[in-house]
Every structure is written in structure tokens, then in C-alpha cells.
């Protein structure tokens, strides 16, 4: 399973990368705004800074919602770095744009997926990744993990190369369950990745080992 970090914060990205388990980054206009990054030039410079930290897979989102606009913006984003994956919304013109970019050899991430039907369309159009937002589905009393299971099964049935990128991952159990269901990628905040480190028995066991070592050393 690939681990992506869902942020535009360079310090968090570097910390996750230095941990040795980071495979990519997902961002969006809201995350850019959270870091105080605005304006086309500054946003693109920030994407380049992210690319300079990680090895691959930096999802950069288009703002346009019409076909021509998405193509224009997507081409400009792809020029920033070979690591860029153009992030396209799940709308009619978005599917058309994904097909266009697929034919051009430009990787895409179809975002805002909330149904298996949407994921099926994106895969048929040639999306590199689809991003089902499981946390947001949970918020409206729908089981987001059930959607991951549906999409994984459909893709396996027909051999689609599109990878399932579980998004809106809120906590460590979301991540573990996505791994059990066969999601190819999970994108989440740094705290969720770091949360995998924690277990009370690890803490108590280490404390016991260190105490025993100190006794044996006569301390």
C-alpha cells in the first residue's frame, strides 16, 4: 500500500518523507489556502517545492470546471515537474479531460468520488488514480469503507489499471481497514501515519526493557 500525505505543509511533508514511508502528496486549493499560499505563481512555486522533497506522485488540482480550462491548467501543472499528477474533479468535462490526458501520457487523479459508478467512469476514461472520500461519506451516515470495497472489487473484475486512492482518511482504523480491503493508496494527515506507531503494550514493554537494563547495569 502506498502512503500519501494530504497537506501543503512543507514541514509535515519533510517529516513524513524522512520517516522513510512516504510515496506521494495530495493537495487542493483549500490546503494551499491553509498555508497562506495564493496566486497562480506562488501556488506553482509551492508545488515545485513539494516536488523537490518527495520522489514522485504530487497531485496538483485544476481550478477550472470546463473542458478547455482543465486542459489548459492541467498542461501547465504537468510542466512544473515530472512528479506532478493532475487532479481532476468528477464531473462530465472532468471525465473528458481525463481521457484527453490519458491519451497524452499525463497522469491524473480523479477527485471527489462518492460512488462506484463515478469510479467506473473514471477508470474507463483512463484515470491513474481515483479518490473516494470515505470520511465525508461517513459524515452523512454512509459507510465510506463499503465504497472502497465496491471499487476494489469492480476494478479486479475487469482488470482496470486505475489505482484506488482512499481519501478523507480521518484516523488510523480508516487506514488499516483500507489496507485490508485492498486500496492501493491512502492519503491522510501526518498524524494518521504517525498514529500507526502507537500501542500501549509497545510503550510498557519498552519501559520494562529499559528498567531491566538499568538494573543489570547497576544504575
pTM strictly above 0.75: yes
CA dist., res. 87 & res. 106, Å (int): 11
- Split the chain (219 residues) into runs of 10 and give each run's mean pLDDT: 97 97 93 92 95 98 97 97 98 98 98 98 98 97 97 98 97 97 97 91 82 76
User: Would you say 122 and 98 are in contact if contact means Cβ atoms under 8 Å apart?
Assistant: yes
Determine the pLDDT at residue 25: 98
Catalytic residues: 87
Determine the pLDDT at residue 219: 66
CA dist., res. 126 & res. 100, Å (int): 9
CA dist., res. 203 & res. 113, Å (int): 39
User: Would you say 99 and 127 are in contact if contact means Cβ atoms under 8 Å apart?
Assistant: no
Determine the pLDDT at residue 132: 98
The three cell numbers of residue 135 are 470520511
> Nearest-CA neighbor of 131 among 64, 176, 183, 190?
183
Determine the pLDDT at residue 30: 87
Amino acid at each position: 500500500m502506498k502512503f500519501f500525505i494530504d497537506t501543503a505543509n512543507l514541514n509535515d511533508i519533510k517529516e513524513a518523507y524522512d520517516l522513510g514511508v512516504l510515496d506521494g502528496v495530495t493537495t487542493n486549493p483549500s490546503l494551499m489556502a491553509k498555508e497562506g499560499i495564493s496566486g497562480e505563481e506562488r501556488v506553482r512555486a509551492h508545488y515545485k517545492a513539494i516536488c523537490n522533497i518527495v520522489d514522485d506522485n504530487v497531485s496538483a488540482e485544476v481550478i477550472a470546471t470546463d473542458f478547455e480550462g482543465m486542459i489548459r491548467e492541467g498542461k501547465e501543472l504537468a510542466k512544473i515537474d515530472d512528479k506532478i499528477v493532475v487532479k481532476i474533479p468528477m464531473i462530465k468535462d472532468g471525465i473528458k479531460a481525463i481521457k484527453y490526458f490519458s491519451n497524452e501520457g499525463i497522469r491524473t487523479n480523479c477527485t471527489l468520488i462518492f460512488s462506484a459508478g463515478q469510479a467506473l467512469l473514471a477508470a474507463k476514461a483512463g484515470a491513474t488514480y481515483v479518490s473516494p472520500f470515505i470520511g465525508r461519506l461517513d459524515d452523512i451516515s454512509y459507510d465510506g469503507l463499503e465504497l472502497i470495497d465496491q471499487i476494489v472489487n469492480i476494478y479486479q473484475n475487469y482488470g482496470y489499471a486505475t489505482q484506488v486512492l482512499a481519501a478523507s482518511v480521518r484516523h488510523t482504523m480508516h487506514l488499516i481497514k483500507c489496507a485490508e480491503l485492498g486500496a492501493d493508496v491512502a492519503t491522510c494527515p501526518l498524524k494518521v501515519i504517525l498514529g500507526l506507531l502507537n500501542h500501549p503494550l509497545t510503550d510498557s514493554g519498552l519501559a520494562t526493557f529499559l528498567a531491566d537494563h538499568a538494573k543489570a547495569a547497576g544504575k
